[in-house]
Amino acid sequence: MVQVNLSQQVEQEETLPSSDSGLDIDNEFVCPLTGEVVEYSDIDGMIDTYERLKAKSDQMYACMISIREQLASKTVGDAVTRRVQGKRRRVKVESPDVKFEQSILKELMNSHPHIAKDYLRVAQVNVLMTAYNKLVNTASSEPDYTFFRDTLTKACNGRVGTPTIKIEV
């Protein structure tokens, strides 16, 4: 996270696509790398453009990671938040969260529950999707079963987020 003054922040805010941004949501878009106009009906053209954009994005991301690592190496101490000051710019470097091996934590939780309750917590309950899919399509007259099924179904938000793309050919 780079600290900048408010006037710099306003200049750096991202804006939503407009009609002059090269994006025509209805029929076509303009590749920002090549300037090529690609129609949404052209599957091969979209895949080719996606590959070019992903390759450039991967290069930029690798460069950004390298810069982050170099800036972090110039900090002093081992605090979570540290800063590096240049001649005219300053950056705040925040270290990632500490991670633990989940299988070992689970073993500790099961083998020493009286101690674990003071130091460990269950972070997230996940759904077994194969069993859930069967549950949704199972009829029952048993009240606890139907309550559980209906409540779990209400808790499902569906697929959230943008799909990932893996090009096969």
SS3 assignment, position 11 = helix
pLDDT digits (tens, 9 = 90+) for 125-160: 788 999 999 999 999 999 999 999 999 999 988 878
Domain boundaries along the sequence of the chain = 6-94, 102-155
Q: CA–CA separation, 36 vs 29, rounded Å?
A: 8
DSSP 21-68: TTEETTTEEE-TTT--EEETT-HHHHHHHHHHHHHHHHHHHHHHHHHH
Could you tell me the pTM of the whole model? 0.59
How is the beta sheet containing 23-24 ordered, strand by strand?
23-24, 28-30, 37-39
Helices (H) and strands (E) in the chain, counts: 6, 5
pLDDT digits (tens, 9 = 90+) for 45-85: 999 999 999 999 999 999 999 999 999 999 998 888 999 99
pLDDT of residue 160: 82
Average pLDDT for residues 25-36, to the nearest whole number? 90
